[in-house]
């Protein structure tokens, strides 16, 4: 369905066209007309299906441009997602000069207070904790709020924000509309719907429309000491445009980032110990295509919404199956195919099987590429770089080029140039501190390191996601694997980068 058929005004249609969108996604097509009518909506859809525009466009259209008060509040689980939502709403509402502001923890609250005082936003986007801080300080007033949006509600449940959300809703007493979006609908989320919503319309996107169906899912069975070299060879062969690498811990992310950089890859990492300014700087570069590889923990990447990610590498298998779904959901968006590769140690096969039960899709075994295959992949990318260089004006280099040709053959010069452009990973040794494999004791039950469960976790895993950044590490040196592992006969396609 085209956006022009959904009842949106000309200014918004112009903004949508400027953004390059023509047809609405299923969640947008079903939600926008209902929201424009002022109805409460419960939308069940995964991240990456276009929910921001689904709730943002009706809010922008229904704003009273003359009223100098907060008219809509959007609650997001993380700073990154809150910022992305604010940026998208600002772009969509630019022609109508919609005032949109974001507040989140980790930033100077004094500066936020000053901004809120001098430029009262029509739409306020924020994380639960920081919104409550402002409400308790009386630096924001929700008296005139008409619409409240709860985005990624199940994520906020997992992070322990449900009571905060209920408190925020109690401040917006005059609200006429609540829009709730969640990938899953556990009982506490449904309870919010019953308590704070009036006859909500249910919009549920069928499984066949979810982005996970567009993702090719592979696994590589490897020892802990083999994983880094295998991943580098896979990156060389697959040639991802934008890739996400997930590590279980902060130290793991730091070591993977340093290792990838040492081998010449354009990579950077984010985790909870980095300053907010540093994290946002890295994300901005990645989003702009100035980074090829982003390494992250689950906590740092939660709510991350970046288009164009072609590959996800699970260097460490996640501790719960929901995290796996969220990880691989970073690719395969907007109707494009994506690839995920999960590295599994022999002791972690049980975890992988539980993930397969949740996703109802078996991962395909993948045979690690050889060093020779990796080198061919490197050379293919080097050839692409040379083709780009040849498009430039090279006239000022011709004298030196002729001098070199007098002393060396053209074949030797091209071979030397290819060697310089390609990265032979065998030349750079990288130490990745091993971690213990996740323990698995069968019978469908997975046991966390501390042995204590969290009753509200979905699935059979006992560790809460908030602990993913903080596990202990081992201390042995990894060694390079040069052989091929058992697996499928999957043929690697050397991908030529545009």
Over the stretch 284-338, which tens digit does the pLDDT of each residue have? 899 888 999 999 988 777 656 677 899 999 999 987 777 788 788 888 766 678 8
Is the domain of 196 the same as that of 222? no
Task: Name the more confident of 1 and 3.
Answer: 3
pLDDT digits (tens, 9 = 90+) for 126-140: 999 999 999 999 999
Least confident residue range of 242-251, 378-387, 405-414, 425-434: 378-387
Task: Name the more confident of 101 and 381.
Answer: 101
How much is the average pLDDT of 29-52?
Answer: 88
* pLDDT given for residue 389 in this prediction: 79
Paired tokens of 132? 């409550």
* pLDDT given for residue 48 in this prediction: 64
In the chain, the largest separation of any two C-alpha atoms, in whole Å, equals: 83
Domain assignment present for 305: yes
- The fraction of the chain above a pLDDT of 90, given in percent, is 40
pLDDT digits (tens, 9 = 90+) for 251-266: 999 999 999 999 889 9
Domain assignment present for 432: yes
Domain assignment present for 494: no
Separation CA 51–CA 153 (nearest Å) = 12
Q: What is the CA radius of gyration of the chain?
A: 25
The residue ranges of DSSP E strands in 222-337, in sequence order, are 243-246, 267-270, 293-296, 311-314
Q: Considering only CA atoms, which of 90, 72, 68 is closest in space to residue 142?
A: 72
pLDDT at 45 over 90: no
Separation CA 191–CA 331 (nearest Å) = 31
* Count of the separate structural domains present in the chain: 3
Q: Which of 209, 238, 257 is the last residue of a domain?
A: 209
Q: Residue 94: which domain range?
A: 3-209
Q: In degrees, to the nearest 5, what angle opens at C-alpha 392 toward C-alphas 388 and 396?
A: 135
pLDDT digits (tens, 9 = 90+) for 74-86: 999 988 889 989 9
The residue ranges of DSSP E strands in 385-473, in sequence order, are none
- Burial string for 367-379 (b: 16+ CB within 10 Å, else e) reads bbbebebbbbbbb
Separation CA 262–CA 90 (nearest Å) = 39
Task: Name the more confident of 439 and 211.
Answer: 439
CATH code for the domain of 352: 3.40.50.300
Is the domain of 195 the same as that of 242? no
- The fraction of the chain above a pLDDT of 70, given in percent, is 81
What letter would DSSP give residue 440? B
pLDDT at 371 over 90: no
How much is the average pLDDT of 64-91?
Answer: 92
Q: Which of 194, 209, 224 is the last residue of a domain?
A: 209
* pTM score: 0.56
Q: Is 354 left (phi over 0), alpha (psi -120 to 50) or beta?
A: alpha
Paired tokens of 424? 């032979």
Domain assignment present for 408: yes
pLDDT digits (tens, 9 = 90+) for 149-164: 999 898 898 888 989 9
Separation CA 26–CA 205 (nearest Å) = 7
Separation CA 185–CA 42 (nearest Å) = 10
Separation CA 346–CA 224 (nearest Å) = 9
- Burial string for 42-58 (b: 16+ CB within 10 Å, else e) reads bbbbbbbbbbbbbbbbb
Is the domain of 228 the same as that of 307? yes
Is the domain of 178 the same as that of 295? no
Do the Cβ atoms of 56 and 88 come closer than 8 Å? yes
* pLDDT given for residue 383 in this prediction: 72
Separation CA 485–CA 237 (nearest Å) = 16
How much is the average pLDDT of 223-230?
Answer: 91
How much is the average pLDDT of 360-379?
Answer: 79
Task: Name the more confident of 5 and 374.
Answer: 5
Is the domain of 38 the same as that of 149? yes
Is the domain of 12 the same as that of 94? yes
Is the domain of 169 the same as that of 234? no
pLDDT at 380 over 80: no
pLDDT at 496 over 60: no
* pLDDT given for residue 495 in this prediction: 40
Is the domain of 78 the same as that of 185? yes
Separation CA 48–CA 208 (nearest Å) = 14
What letter would DSSP give residue 207? G
Do the Cβ atoms of 176 and 146 come closer than 8 Å? yes
* pLDDT given for residue 318 in this prediction: 84
Task: Name the more confident of 399 and 462.
Answer: 399
* pLDDT given for residue 424 in this prediction: 61
Q: Considering only CA atoms, which of 271, 51, 305 is closest in space to residue 153?
A: 51
The residue ranges of DSSP E strands in 282-391, in sequence order, are 293-296, 311-314, 338-344, 364-365
The strand order across the sheet containing 293-296 reads: 267-270, 293-296, 243-246, 311-314, 338-344, 215-221, 364-365
Is the domain of 350 the same as that of 218? yes
Paired tokens of 479? 């060694």
Domain assignment present for 92: yes
| Local confidence band at 30 (pLDDT 50, 70, 90 cut-offs) | very high
Separation CA 485–CA 344 (nearest Å) = 12
Residue with tokens 């298998």: 317
| Local confidence band at 422 (pLDDT 50, 70, 90 cut-offs) | low
* pLDDT given for residue 321 in this prediction: 73
| Local confidence band at 472 (pLDDT 50, 70, 90 cut-offs) | very low
Separation CA 343–CA 363 (nearest Å) = 11
Domain assignment present for 329: yes
Domain assignment present for 418: yes
Residue with tokens 């907010």: 276
Domain assignment present for 497: no
Do the Cβ atoms of 247 and 300 come closer than 8 Å? no
Sign of the Cα pseudo-torsion (83, 84, 89, 95, in order):
positive
Most confident region among 290-304, 425-439, 478-492 by mean pLDDT: 290-304
Is the domain of 363 the same as that of 418? no
Is the domain of 149 the same as that of 295? no
Is the domain of 233 the same as that of 364? yes
Instruction: Kindly give the interhelix angle for 371-390 and 227-238, rounded to the nearest 10 degrees.
Output: 40
| Local confidence band at 447 (pLDDT 50, 70, 90 cut-offs) | very low
* pLDDT given for residue 399 in this prediction: 86
């Amino acid at each position: 369905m085209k956006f022009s058929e959904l009842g949106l005004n000309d200014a918004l249609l112009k903004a949508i066209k400027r953004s390059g969108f023509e047809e609405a996604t299923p969640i947008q097509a079903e939600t926008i007309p209902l929201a424009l009518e002022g109805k409460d909506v419960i939308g069940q859809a995964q991240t990456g299906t276009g929910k921001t525009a689904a709730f943002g466009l009706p809010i922008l259209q229904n704003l009273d441009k003359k009223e100098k008060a907060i008219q809509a509040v959007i609650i997001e689980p993380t700073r990154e997602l809150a910022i992305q939502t604010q940026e998208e709403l600002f772009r969509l509402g630019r022609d109508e000069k919609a005032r949109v502001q974001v507040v989140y923890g980790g930033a100077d609250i004094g500066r936020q207070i000053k901004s809120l005082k001098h430029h009262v936003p029509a739409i306020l986007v924020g994380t639960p904790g920081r919104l409550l801080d402002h409400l308790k300080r009386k630096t924001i007033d929700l008296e005139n709020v008409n619409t409240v949006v709860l985005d990624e509600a199940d994520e906020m449940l997992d992070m322990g924000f449900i009571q905060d959300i209920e408190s925020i809703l109690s401040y917006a007493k005059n609200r006429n509309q609540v829009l709730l979006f969640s990938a899953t609908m556990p009982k506490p989320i449904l309870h919010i719907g019953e308590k704070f919503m009036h006859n909500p319309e249910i919009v549920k996107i069928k499984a066949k429309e979810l982005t996970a169906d567009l993702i090719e899912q592979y696994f590589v069975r490897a020892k802990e000491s083999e994983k880094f070299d295998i991943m580098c060879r896979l990156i060389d062969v697959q040639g991802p445009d934008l890739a996400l690498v997930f590590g279980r811990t902060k130290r793991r992310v730091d070591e993977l980032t340093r290792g990838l950089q040492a081998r010449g890859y354009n990579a950077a990492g984010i985790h909870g110990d980095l300053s907010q300014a540093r994290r946002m700087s890295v994300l901005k570069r990645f989003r702009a295509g100035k980074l090829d590889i982003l390494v992250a923990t689950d906590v740092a990447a939660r709510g991350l919404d970046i288009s164009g990610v072609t590959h996800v590498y699970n260097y460490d298998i996640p501790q719960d199956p929901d995290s796996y779904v969220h990880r691989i959901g970073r690719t395969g968006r907007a109707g494009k195919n994506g690839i995920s590769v999960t590295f599994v140690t022999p002791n972690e096969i049980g975890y992988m099987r539980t993930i397969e039960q949740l996703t109802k899709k078996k991962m395909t075994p993948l045979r690690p590429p050889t060093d020779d295959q990796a080198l061919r992949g490197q050379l293919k990318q080097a050839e692409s770089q040379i083709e780009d260089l040849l498009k430039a004006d090279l006239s000022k280099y011709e004298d030196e080029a002729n001098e070199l040709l007098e002393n060396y053959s053209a074949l030797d010069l091209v071979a030397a140039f290819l060697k310089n452009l390609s990265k032979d990973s065998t030349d750079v040794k990288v130490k990745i501190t091993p971690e213990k494999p996740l323990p698995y004791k069968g019978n469908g039950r997975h046991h966390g390191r501390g042995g204590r469960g969290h009753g509200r976790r979905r699935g059979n895993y006992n560790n809460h996601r908030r602990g993913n950044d903080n596990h202990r590490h081992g201390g042995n040196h990894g060694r390079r694997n040069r052989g091929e592992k058992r697996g499928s006969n999957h043929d690697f396609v050397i991908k030529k980068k545009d």
